[in-house]
């Protein structure tokens, strides 16, 4: 196997992993924000 191909695949895998991590992080942050907003609104009615 060509070393250039191995390194190219490894760099693509890292880029894909980072891209997925950023998307997941954004989704989690958005979900947490919505949860905090809903909790703060709930506290207003208690």
Q: 1-46: per-residue pLDDT in tens?
A: 455 555 555 666 767 777 788 888 888 888 999 898 888 888 887 6
Cα(21)–Cα(19) distance, rounded to whole angstroms?
A: 5
Cα(41)–Cα(46) distance, rounded to whole angstroms?
A: 9
Which DSSP symbol is given to 45? T
Dihedral, 33, 35, 38, 42 alpha carbons, nearest 10: -130
pLDDT at 33: 92
CA-CA distances (angstroms) from residue 25 to 21, 22, 38, 43?
Answer: 6, 5, 20, 27
């Amino acid at each position: 196997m060509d070393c250039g191909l191995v390194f190219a695949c490894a760099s693509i895998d890292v880029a894909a992993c980072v891209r997925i991590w950023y998307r997941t992080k954004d989704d989690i942050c958005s979900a947490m924000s919505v949860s905090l907003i809903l909790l703060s609104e709930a506290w207003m009615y208690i």
